[in-house]
Amino acid sequence: MKQVDHMAALKLLLDIDTTVFKEELYYPWFIQKPAIIGLSVAWLLFASGSIMLLATLTKTSLLVLILIFSVLTFALVAGYAGLVKTQIGHAKSKVLNLMMRLEKQYFMKGIQPFVPADQQTAVKRIAKDKTFTPKEYTSITLSTQSRVLFNTESFIKEIERMLADPDIKITPNTSTDFDENTFRVPQSARKNYDKIKNSSTFNDVFTIPPEAKKAILVKVHDLVNQAALGKLPML
């Protein structure tokens, strides 16, 4: 098993855009909300117009025509529901594939020392067994990212306490497995990604200046080096 690079994983954690974990990013246009509304309205207009036209031209009972189109509507809805379910399954699979790309490089094991205590059991299981749901993986990544970026002082103090224990080791940068290009938005999802990013309801709370991220990494790296040199007071 290769050595886990905790500092490289921490850098990726600070840089990663968790928008790519959204299943909606991988939905085809025809199962997105605007398309569903548009198709529904179009079908209702078509069905209503057809019923009135057929009733006028064929003298068929209006009740019979309504019944026929109701059955057609039910069949179309059932077929469409099946298609939506399949496409959602494909989207979930794409999200899982992205997460497995990270796990092939031991991302969860890499960020384990920085994960909040209440999620340690879950992150250990993921690191060991590679079993997780997209929601669980996203939750751990987001909460850890938020903790590091917005509770920095408390986070640094906890790292200091952790490194004071001689049995705990955090590895410095030993590889280049993780970088800003490791986890990009797939080209097939780029349009949906831009829509989500540009939507009025989107709130990118993780827009942190690069300098602030660098300062966190430098501080943690210094603590790791001090611990490696035995310069931190032991517990």
pLDDT tens column, 100-125:
988 888 899 999 999 988 999 999 99
Among residues 203, 182, 189, the alpha carbon closest in space to that of 13 is found at 182
Radius of gyration of the chain (CA): 26
Q: What's the confidence (pLDDT) of residue 235?
A: 44
What is the reported pTM? 0.79
155, 147 Cβ separation under 8 angstroms: yes
- What's the rounded Cα separation, in Å, for the pair 167 and 176? 26
Write down the pLDDT at residue 1. Answer: 46
Which DSSP string corresponds to 140-179?
A: HHHHHHHHHHHSHHHHHHHHHHHHTSTT---------S--
Extract the residue ranges of the chain whose pLDDT is less than 70. Answer: 1-3, 171-183, 200-207, 231-235
Distance (Å, whole) CA 94 – CA 29: 16
Give me 77's structure tokens: 């809805």
Predicted pLDDT at 104 = 84
Which residue's entry shows tokens 């080791």? 169
Residue 91, classed as helix, strand or coil, is helix
